[in-house]
Amino acid sequence: KQEVTQIPAALSVPEGENLVLNCSFTDSAIYNLQWFRQDPGKGLTSLLLIQSSQREQTSGRLNASLDKSSGRSTLYIAASQPGDSATYLCAGSNAGGTSYGKLTFGQGTILTVHP
Amino acid sequence: NAGVTQTPKFQVLKTGQSMTLQCAQDMNHEYMSWYRQDPGMGLRLIHYSVGAGITDQGEVPNGYNVSRSTTEDFPLRLLSAAPSQTSVYFCASRQGWANTEAFFGQGTRLTVV
């Protein structure tokens, strides 16, 4: 059974700092890993999808990496801004199994970027 | 470009009442799913569908029914609401079940009293 853990649970940084959010998973037979952002009371916004054949993906100030052998993914945010404050969730999708396409989510990291 | 649309956004039910949470997507995605989000439990899969006419159970299906008569719509029915079903419900869709990006709706916040 896939289990996903995110560390730290909460992070507070000053504006402009570069930061890394961590996601670890127990089953290396992961098909892909997706990072989401969730603002309070809102839905999930997809940030980056890394397929199992890829090592990393980039979008603007965001860079996500995937290392299947170590069971880890990281989300790097460059030059953080107050508007980046949100909860960041990672989710892994495994091939086949009892629930096709099921996303297994971590508990999330609550990020606060203060001016 | 609407994406995934959920209605209603908020709902209060009395114990024992039934209701349907609506979900529609306009991206012609084959795969749709329902999750519930609870504090300390994260997001958990309730039911999913790999295409019109095909549905299956996720990890927490008890008390919920689904059907998929069209590609666009995937409603979630609460048969007899219980306080344990108080949660935020999210509908998601993706082109296929693997290696494709998942898109989520804005959620339905349900309170059962």
| Bridge partner residues of A36 (DSSP) | A46, A89
What are the pLDDT digits (tens) for B19-39?
999 999 999 999 999 999 998
pLDDT at A97 over 80: no
What are the pLDDT digits (tens) for A14-40?
999 999 999 999 988 888 899 999 999
Neighbours of A26 (CB within 10 A): 13
Contact B105/A43, CB-based, under 8 Å? yes
Q: Which of A102, A109, A110 to mutate to test the interface with B (most CBs of B within 10 A)?
A: A102
Which of A10, A8, A11, A15 is closest to A79 using CA atoms?
A15
Nearest CA-CA distance, residue A81 and chain B, Å: 24
What pLDDT shows up at residue A96?
60
Q: B23: Cβ–Cβ under 8 A, 6 or more apart, which residues?
A: B4, B5, B6, B32, B34, B73, B74, B75, B76, B91, B105
Q: Which of B5, B21, B43 to mutate to test the interface with A (most CBs of A within 10 A)?
A: B43
Dist CA A68 CA A93 (whole Å): 12
Averaged pLDDT score across all residues of chain A: 92
Ranges of chain B whose pLDDT falls below 50? none
Nearest-by-CA chain B residue for A106: B42
Dist CA A61 CA B28 (whole Å): 30
- Going from the C-alpha of B61 to that of each of A100, A109, B45, B56, the distances in angstroms are 15, 27, 8, 9
Which of A103, A100, A92 is closest to B91 using CA atoms?
A103
What pLDDT shows up at residue B2?
76
DSSP A9: S
Residue B13 token pair? 């039910």
Contact B33/A102, CB-based, under 8 Å? yes
The CA angle B7-B8-B12, to the nearest 5 degrees, is 150
What pLDDT shows up at residue A98?
59
Nearest-by-CA chain A residue for B105: A43
What pLDDT shows up at residue A91?
95
> Which residues of chain A make contact with B45, given a CB cutoff of 8 A?
99, 102-103
What pLDDT shows up at residue A52?
85
Mean pLDDT of A67-72: 93
